[in-house]
Structure 1
Amino acid sequence: MATGWAGDDAVQEQIDATVEDAIKRARSKLHHGPGLERCEECDAPIPEARRKAVPGVRLCVSCQEVQDRAESESSGYNRRGSKDSQLR
């Protein structure tokens, strides 16, 4: 069936590209190397267990929660919309 200028699998290609971009963005946010002993925001000590569990950790749990909350509020993803609304 002819679909105009778009190929038969254009929608799937767009979905795949969106997923790949999200994976690249998430990986770029991961820290590498040794973690800090003190939080870079509030200077509170970061427990050794957290430093072992999260390589490259830079924030204490409290500051990390604040940052995660701020990022999730402005993530820009339409998680409740239909599949078609996410493809625009």
Structure 2
Amino acid sequence: MNSDNAEQIIQIAPWDSVCNRQAINSLCALRRGDRCLFYHSSAGATSRHIVGVVEVAREWYEGEGEAASGGAVDVRVVGEFRLLVALGEIR
């Protein structure tokens, strides 16, 4: 490793706050190691963009802490896209 490059920290975070039943079913079906497109879902359809790829680190579990009202899947970042992809472009 080059001394100029800091070791990358693998960050794991819950993918929670999903309310749509179809989306919840999809998250429940994910298995550890599955890769997914991750999108930013700000207000308004024009701001919804795929921003990168994540990998499932922990399969669906009932919510803990902030996610207590539902469930979550823990994911880790695999990579970020240099160019954002609008959800409408891939439909």
Shared fold, TM over 0.5: no
TM-score normalised over the length of structure 1: 0.27
Highest RCO, 1 vs 2 (Cα 8 Å, sep ≥ 6): 2
Whose radius of gyration is greater, 1 or 2? Answer: 1
Query: As a proportion of its length, which structure holds more helix?
Result: 1
